[in-house]
Amino acid sequence: MPNSMTGFARIEKEFPEGKIICEVRSLNSRYLEMNIRLPRTDYASEQKLRELVKKNIKRGKIDISIKWEKAIEDTTIPRINENIVRQYAAMAGNFKEKHGIKGDLTVDAVFGLKDVFVYEENHTLSEDMLTEICRDLLDALNEERAREGIYIAGDLTGRMAMIGSTVIEIEAGWPDVIRAHEEKLRAKINEVTQSAAIDEARILQELAIYMERLDISEEIVRLRGHLDNFRATLSSEDAIGRKLDFIIQEMVRETNTIGSKSNDLYINERVIRIKVEIEKMREQVQNLE
């Protein structure tokens, strides 16, 4: 069954250092797009997580957020950025020497300068643990996407059945269209010739030309073939969204041809019904992976 491209999942896990909160959202996209937000201490793991996403998701816009909530008793002790302090001290010494200014750079003054203190996130989560959490997160997302995909597949199946029954109605009504045209043709000939004598061979010839020009049997066969292809593709386990979109384009083409060949109200009403269903199918297919 197909997967939807839209979904949401959230995972929380407790550690001695605190709680890690992971969220993922997925939206529609023609390609696979990723945005991964990690704590600063985990930036080195981003590429591995991207590879993990590629293995689990084929298409969609994926937004992953991973953050820490520290335990209440956990307090972060700031670290002094000694490199920055040395730069400040060197700048102060050069400034004093250049301008002949007296005075010392005190500890109180140093501690008030920008970027002297560095506050680091304190956790010991390994890359393997982070990968495992992200894998669980993607599994939860795919479960959600699969549930939505089942709903979409059911809706598409119902609409295909509607189109199939409408095609049967068109086939059943087509002989009446031909008979109506024959009656109009006979009436027109009577009106023109003002005679009861009608060349039956001529009428049959005109009817043959009309039926050859407006025959829709090939379009109906192809439309049914596209429906069968759509149904088979829908049951595939692969990413099928793009293929289904292409099949729908072909269904639209055949339906338009049927409508353009027929100038009968009965046929055109059913062609419109099919177009409405196909358009609704197109909207749903845009949500499939």
Q: For the chain, 289 residues long, give each residue's pLDDT as a single digit of tens.
A: 789 999 999 999 887 767 889 999 999 998 899 999 988 767 778 899 999 999 999 999 999 999 887 765 555 567 787 788 888 888 887 877 777 777 777 777 777 777 777 765 555 567 788 889 999 999 999 999 999 999 999 999 999 999 999 999 998 888 887 777 777 766 776 666 665 556 667 666 766 676 677 778 889 999 999 999 999 999 888 889 999 999 999 999 999 999 888 778 888 999 999 999 999 999 999 999 9
**Could you tell me if 140 and 153 lie in one domain?**
no
Show the DSSP H helices in 123-240 as ranges.
127-193, 200-214, 217-234
**Could you tell me if 172 and 251 lie in one domain?**
yes
Q: Report the pLDDT value the prediction gives residue 210, as an integer from 0 to 100.
A: 67
32: CATH: 3.30.230
CA 66 to chain centre: 23
* Domain contains 61: yes
* Domain contains 134: yes
Q: Report the pLDDT value the prediction gives residue 123, as an integer from 0 to 100.
A: 56
Separation CA 211–CA 181 (nearest Å): 10
**Could you tell me if 254 and 274 lie in one domain?**
yes
* Domain contains 2: no
**Could you tell me if 194 and 227 lie in one domain?**
yes
* Domain contains 1: no
* Domain contains 248: yes
**Could you tell me if 183 and 251 lie in one domain?**
yes
Q: Report the pLDDT value the prediction gives residue 45, as an integer from 0 to 100.
A: 84
198: CATH: 1.20.140
**Could you tell me if 68 and 90 lie in one domain?**
no
Listed in sequence order, the residues at least 6 apart from 11 whose beta carbon sits closer than 8 Å to its beta carbon are 21, 22, 23, 133, 136, 137, 140
Residue pointed to by tokens 């909207």: 283
**Could you tell me if 245 and 163 lie in one domain?**
yes
Domain that holds residue 257: 146-285
Nearest to 51, CA basis, from 126, 125, 129, 135:
135
Separation CA 137–CA 152 (nearest Å): 23
**Could you tell me if 218 and 242 lie in one domain?**
yes
Q: Report the pLDDT value the prediction gives residue 216, as an integer from 0 to 100.
A: 85
Residues 258, 170: contact at Cβ < 8 Å? yes
Q: Report the pLDDT value the prediction gives residue 217, as an integer from 0 to 100.
A: 85
Residue pointed to by tokens 């793009």: 242
Predicted TM-score (pTM) of this structure:
0.70
- Tell me the β-bridge partners of 80: 117
Count of alpha carbons within 13 Å of 33, Cβ hemisphere only? 12
Q: Other CB atoms closer than 10 Å to residue 265's CB: what's the count?
A: 9
* Domain contains 234: yes
Q: Report the pLDDT value the prediction gives residue 115, as an integer from 0 to 100.
A: 77
**Could you tell me if 60 and 151 lie in one domain?**
no
- Tell me the β-bridge partners of 68: 20
**Could you tell me if 107 and 189 lie in one domain?**
no
Q: Report the pLDDT value the prediction gives residue 230, as an integer from 0 to 100.
A: 95
Structural domain count of the chain: 3
